[in-house]
Homo-oligomer: A and B are copies of this chain.
Amino acid sequence: MPTEPGSVNTLIVYASVKGYTQRMAEAHAEGVSAAGGHPTLKTCEEVSKEDLAACDALILGTPIHMGGMDWRMKRFVDTVCAPLWQKGVMTGKAGGVFASGGGYGDAGGGIELCMLGMFSNLAQLGVVMVPLPPETPGFAHGGTAWGPYVRSQAASKAYLAPDELPLTASRSHGRNIATLAECLRQQRIFAH
């Protein structure tokens, strides 16, 4: 018997400097709710080991700095996530990542290594990783295979207002991850 979707808790941990990543985090939360799940939004400075233990899914989002995640996100990884390594606290939960950045150079400015850095965190914790399929609505203007990416500069190279960002892919990603979390909660895939 399926459990009630509403009881699936998706934790969205983000860093944000100018508001872009926060806006993406909110769009992920909207997607989680649309799937009948319960989203919890926390900045990487607020989140605790207890928050991680309590969640069914974990989504990480960050601005890109020099081809990697924001240092405050990495501090969360080192000080909150790393102590859970080999403890099995996160093993078999669902997860995914997203990021925002200026995108100077027209190819994402380090977006892939940044996202793979967060994937590495998820993988080390045993989290099942959700990609962003290319047929996802909104992918053409804000997608990578690793998750939603929002370019904070328009083609004109002026910065967008955070509320002008294309956020469709973020909503889909949040919904997909929450749906997987529901599925995984019913069947512990590593529980052998």
Which A residues contact B (CB, under 8 angstroms)? 65-71, 74-75, 77-79, 81-82, 85-86, 88, 91-92, 103-113, 116-117, 119-136, 139-146, 149, 151, 155, 157, 172, 175-176, 179-180, 182-184, 186-187, 189-190, 192
Interchain CB contact (< 8 A) of A120 among B110, B129, B140, B184: B110
Q: Which residue of B lies closest to A105 (CB)?
A: B143
Quick one: copies of this chain in the complex? 4
Interchain CB contact (< 8 A) of A77 among B68, B78, B91, B106: B68
Q: Is A117's CB under 8 angstroms from B68's CB?
A: yes
Q: Is A88's CB under 8 angstroms from B133's CB?
A: yes
The minimal Cβ–Cβ distance linking A1 to chain B, given in whole angstroms, is: 11
Q: Is B88's CB under 8 angstroms from A135's CB?
A: yes
Q: Tell me, in angstroms, the Cα distance from A49 to B132 when the chains sit together.
A: 21
Q: Is B179's CB under 8 angstroms from A124's CB?
A: no
Q: Tell me, in angstroms, the Cα distance from A74 to B136 when the chains sit together.
A: 25
List 7 extra interface pairs beyond A106-B108, A107-B143, CB under 8 A: A66-B77, A66-B121, A67-B120, A67-B124, A71-B74, A106-B143, A107-B111
A134 in contact with B105 given A67-B117, A187-B179, A189-B176 (CB within 8 Å): yes
Q: Is A128's CB under 8 angstroms from B130's CB?
A: yes
The minimal Cβ–Cβ distance linking A12 to chain B, given in whole angstroms, is: 17
A180 cross-chain contacts in B, Cβ below 8 A: 128, 184, 189
Q: Is B149's CB under 8 angstroms from A107's CB?
A: yes
Q: Is A131's CB under 8 angstroms from B127's CB?
A: yes
A141 cross-chain contacts in B, Cβ below 8 A: 106
